[in-house]
Amino acid sequence: MGYDAYSTYDTVMHGGFIAEDLCIPEKFFLTLLTIFFPPLGVTYRQFRAGFPNPIEIFISLILTAMFYFPGLIYSLNKINCGEDLTKSQKFYNDSENNAQDDVNKD
């Protein structure tokens, strides 16, 4: 008669209460890591892209050493609003291939 065999405790502990509706954003853990130590978030972002611009790590370190909030603002800006490093790396690789094609044409 519409009675659920599981108790509320079972539903919460074994899933089904909010598990299907819970959505964690993709950058949630990276943002959390950056809040705890800003240069670590920038370092992880650079690592994932193959370190195309490691100077961002040093800028974040210097700003964080001066005071926590300038480093935090800089790092969060680079993580959330910065350019996609994988796309800029792909563009760089494409330009190399085009230059090589020009050499081969001659």
Q: How many CB atoms lie within 10 A of CB 72?
A: 19
Look at residue 46 in the predicted model and tell me its pLDDT.
93
Domains of the chain by residue range: 8-105
Per-residue pLDDT tens over the stretch 3-34: 556 666 666 666 555 555 556 677 889 999 99
User: What separation in angstroms does the CA of 20 have from each of 16, 45, 74, 79?
Assistant: 7, 29, 35, 28
Q: In terms of pLDDT, which residue wins out, 98 or 63?
A: 63
8 A C-beta contact, residue 77 and residue 39: no
